[in-house]
Amino acid sequence: ENDDEDRPIYNPLNLPLGWDGKPIPFWLYKLHGLGIEYKCEICGNYSYWGRRAFEKHFSEWRHAYGMKCLKIPNTAHFKEITKIEDAIVLYDKLKKDAEDQTFRPDQDVECEDIQGNVMSQRAFEDLRRQGLI
């Protein structure tokens, strides 16, 4: 009566087990791409089998810890980045871009004289000190 439950499950392809404890069908295995291995260098060369598991791992603790060790924030910019060097290069580029976007009062403030000429505040102050404006 319990012979089906007691004997080992025949699984020559070493397919993952489904919710019922039996191997999933081969077509489902291929459909989900579970035969494709994705490695992440940031996670310590950990392997993820299937696209879904790979995409999900970017929000999990192992990837977040790897990014923290590199002193890089784990933001959406770094999705699909698996190589340490690529992450560092991208982070440096993002820092440089953010630095270029920051407001610098000495260069970004513009002033207009009575005649309608627009110039930087520094140039305006220099001309005013010289008495030309």
How far is Cα 66 from Cα 72, in angstroms, rounded to an integer?
9
Which carries the bigger pLDDT value, residue 78 or residue 9?
78
Q: What is the DSSP letter of 16?
A: P
Specify the 3-state DSSP secondary structure of 90: helix
User: Within 13 Å, how many C-alpha atoms sit on residue 31's CB side?
Assistant: 5
pLDDT of 109 reads: 85
**Cβ(70)–Cβ(87) below 8 Å:** yes
Q: Which residues pair with 120 in a beta bridge?
A: 110
Q: What is the mean pLDDT of the chain?
A: 90
pLDDT of 56 reads: 96
Question: pTM of the prediction?
Answer: 0.69
